[in-house]
Structure formats: structure tokens, C-alpha cells
Chains A and B, each alone.
Chain A
């Protein structure tokens, strides 16, 4: 069986870890590489978390360190959400394998150049690495088979400001560069992990009940995120934006409604990082992004559970 090839760009904290795990465990997918970007965590801690996750899954996927800062802004980490270690204060032991390299951007360009049209890109953090790769080599946009972006908020509230979702807000200029690059992109906004897509207490207990190390890991490391999800976002249970995006990349049927639109990213102070979706086509601008509007919560959870059982 030829497997589908993925590269994951991530700022690994707890929900990124689950998304990585899902891809590593999915039967017809092979993860070629993981590239790190600052975001939830300072770049070094993200790399530690990603490698720990890879090792937990018994894999040897190379992890490359990338950009440590936004293009023009100051970094703003999310320890307040994911815990000081990004992993729900579990303070897992350090990974055994070192980073595979310190030049994630060149590595992205190199890998997509070698296999044009064959590799799917999934981004789970700020888009700095991807923006730089596209600037360095504009043909990247054609070489990427398709790109699933966890980021933005399509015509709805943000989670870091009223206007903006965290990943896009962290480096709005990079996001704007990526959105206008011509790359085939599906944007999966953070809103899809809310409401019915949250894992409630019963579901989390069920996951623990799977009895696997992976299931325990996926729930344990998200304890800080669960608390923040409830106390800070006022959601009923655990929201998992990165795993939701990964679920769509693994199993396209999880997204039940999507359409192409012109989407731009606001870079001014009040609306910094807002993903402005021209839902009605009033700008008459060429659509550049496939926007995910609805997901199937049952199928999403089944997709997640399949990788944890």
C-alpha cells in the first residue's frame, strides 16, 4: 500500500501532540518530517514535546527546529493555556533522540522540491516557517499537494482577541503571505473544536478506559488545556483544535461543508490576525482559500478514538 505523505509544521503543546500522534498512528499515512515553529511554546520546548510524542508512538520521524520568532512581532507564548511545559504540567522525561536539524525552512523547501505534488502539509502553529519557505522558493506553492491550516476563525469570534485566533494572530504578516501564496489551502478555524466537538467528562473517561499508553498520554497532557478551555473560554469540555484539523486531513469526510472564498488577514492593531472571509463574494476577488464551515462531531471523535485505542 502506498501511504499518503504528510509533513507537520507545529508549535507542539498538548493538542499539537495529539494531532501528531493521530497522524503517526493512521494506517495509510506516513509522516515524513515534523518542523517546529515558535508559538504555544518557545521553539526549544516545542521540539522537546514533538520528539517525546514521536518516541511515545515508537517512531523515528525527524524533527527540525525552525523559526523562533514572528516576522515583525514579539513572540507571545501560551503557557497560560497549555501549562509551563506545554504538556499539562506532566513534565515528561526528555526525548532520547536529538533534533534532526536546525534549518526547518530549508528542509521544507528541500522535501517539497524532491516530491512535487506528493506531500500534504498540515500546519498547527503560526505560519512563519511556511511564509519564509514560500518567500525563499515561490514554487513551493505548487509543490505542496494541499495544505490544512489550523488557524483563523471564519466569520466568528477569536480566542486570543475578539477578532483573532491565536496561530494567525501570533504572526499575521506570515499568515497573509501564506494565504496569498497560491498554495492549495483549507482553513480549519478554531471554532470547529467547540460545542459538540468538545470532549465531555464521560468521553474523556471513556478514552482513559481504552487503557493504552497513547490514550492516557492524550488526556493527561491536555489537563491544563481542559482547565483553560472551561475557565477561560467558557466551553463545556476539552477543545482540540489541532486534532480536529488533523482529523480532516486524515479523513476528509470529517468536514461536511466547505467552500472557496477570498480570505485576507488583517494586520492592524485592533483586528490583528483576523481572518476576513469574503463569504458573500462582495469583493469580487479571486477565492484563495477553502474554508471549512461544518464538521461531523461523531465522525471527528471516531477518527480521534481510532488512533488512541
Chain B
């Protein structure tokens, strides 16, 4: 039976790539999208979530709009410079015809998990505000979720906003510290692995060449994103962030993980840093003592992951 998947997302080019990956993978059953600010403002995120589902002919998947800003810190802006002002690489798609459900994202998350005990994979790929609110609203979701797979963080490498912080965690560090400490089965798919997986121009061209309209759509929306990677990273390809979380849900054997307690720094120059207890044994107590262990992906079979993504998108309508 496919895994029920609930993605919390700020689409976002790589979010769109991840959603289409999930929709075209038989191992997964997308039961909803909840939206969050991040790559774009939340209203835009909701519009894009609806657009992507409509493109895929999946209007049956509900969308619930979430938080417009972090728990405590002001919203510092969104990543238009990465994803384009429309969040979909300046492709200027027509507005969606459908609407979000009349329920805040956090409530939707709680209801979905409680209604399907032990079955839902919760996959946040943006700032963690909705997830933190949900777990505070109803802590029972901790014991009722199948697993939480997070795209975000950087445990053993530099961040991508600054040397300390990855963008999703930096977006709401307080929420992230709540989510990492909640005590549920959690896997972090962060920059440690996502930056090892590069989709270059040749790969994306081959995807378009071999595939249908889904592949062509991905080729389209990645033009601006590819250009950003070229300008900022001097990279002839793009880092595969959000699709990697979906890949983990499909086949965790693509990754190697390490396990330990995680704290997220909430203040100071390193706010948003995911600082992991990678040692485990200490002489005294500290802020990591008693933190529930989480799994962090540190290695990935990039070649196999890229092949899987290509296979699924090429086979898509």
C-alpha cells in the first residue's frame, strides 16, 4: 500500500519538482499540501500549490494555507531572487481555478494525522512554522505520525543563507527547535546531501527530450533557478533540495544517516544553525541532554537518485 504523504511547502521551483515527483511515484499517495511562506509569500505559495496540482490533473488533493510569518521573528523577505517573483521561475502561469480549503494548515495537519494513525508521512520542505503550531496544538500527532521527513538544515556542512544556517531552518529557527525536539521519528534531508545531488543542464535537457508535458514543465520552471545557481554558485546545474526528501520517502536506502540529538540556535549570529550532538557521550549535562535522537542524512547515492527522478518524470504523462 502506498504511503500517505502530506507535504508542507512554499512552492518554489524545487518544491514543484518534488510535488510532481511524489504525484508520479506509486509508492506515495499525496493526501494534501499545506502551504507556508518561504520561497514566496504564503498567498503565492497557496496559488502555486493549486496550480501545480491542476497542472497534474489532481484537483482532488486538498490545499490548506498556513502561516504568513515565523513564530517570533519578523518575516525578512522571500526568495524571489532564487525562484522568480512568481516562485515558478518567471513562467507566468495563469491563476488556478480551485481554492484552498477553509482551514488553517496546522489544523489540517493535525486532523489528517489523527484520522490516519501511523500512516502519514509528514514532509515539510519550507520553514517549520506550521509543523510547530500543529505539534503544540495537538501533541498526539507525535505518536500518530508514521515519520517526519524534513528538507532543511545543515549538520556537517555550511548553510546556504550564511555559514551557519540553511534557508528553511533560518526562516523560523524557533519553530525548527520545537520540531526537532518533539520526539517523533524524524529524518533530516539537509544540505549535507542535497548539495551533492546536481541536476545539470544536460540532465534537464535529456529529461525534456525523453518525457512528456510533466518533463517539459520541469524544464521550463528550472530555467531561472538554473541561472541563479550559475550566478551564485558558478554551478552548471542545480542542487536537488526538495525532491531529495521525496526520494527518501520512496527509498531510504538511497541515503546513509547518522543519529543524535539536535538543537537549533534561535538567536545571535548563528541563528538557524542545526547543531547536532554527534558524539553522544558527555561528562555533564547540557542543552542537548535528553533531546530525542533524530536521523540526519549524510551520504547519498546521487547517481541512483537522479536516475529514479528521471525515470518517474519521464514516465509521467
Contact = CB atoms under 8 A, between A and B. Distances in A.
Nearest to B133: A135
A103 interface: yes
Contact of A176 (B72, B106, B177): B72
A37 to B, nearest CB: 11
A67 B107 CA distance: 15
Interface in A42-90: 67-69, 71-72
A173 interface: yes
A152 B267 CA distance: 22
Contacts of A69: 139
A136 B131 CA distance: 11
B174 A106 contact: no
A108 to B, nearest CB: 11
A99 interface: no
Interface in A149-206: 173, 176-177
A71 B267 contact: no
B71 A173 contact: yes
Interface in A118-146: 128, 131-132, 135-138
Interface string B58-82: 0000000001100110000000000
A275 to B, nearest CB: 15
Contacts of B71: 71, 131, 135, 173, 177
B311 interface: no
Contact of B177 (A72, A103, A137, A177): A72
A106 B137 contact: yes
A238 interface: no
Nearest to A104: B137
Contacts of B138: 103
A267 interface: yes
A110 to B, nearest CB: 11
Contacts of A31: none
Interface in B103-129: 104, 106-107, 129
A71 B173 CA distance: 12
B29 interface: no
B160 to A, nearest CB: 24
B277 interface: no
Contacts of B54: none
A268 interface: yes
Nearest to B69: A138
B136 interface: yes
Nearest to A176: B72
Given A71-B71, A173-B71, A136 B133 contact: yes
B254 interface: no
A105 interface: yes
Given A72-B174, A135-B129, A267-B267, A67 B72 contact: no
Contact of A68 (B72, B139, B178): B139
Contacts of B139: 68-69
8 nearest A-B pairs in the assembled complex, by CB-CB distance: A135-B133, A136-B104, A132-B136, A176-B72, A136-B106, A105-B137, A173-B72, A177-B72
Interface of A: 67-69, 71-72, 103, 105-106, 128, 131-132, 135-138, 173, 176-177, 267-268
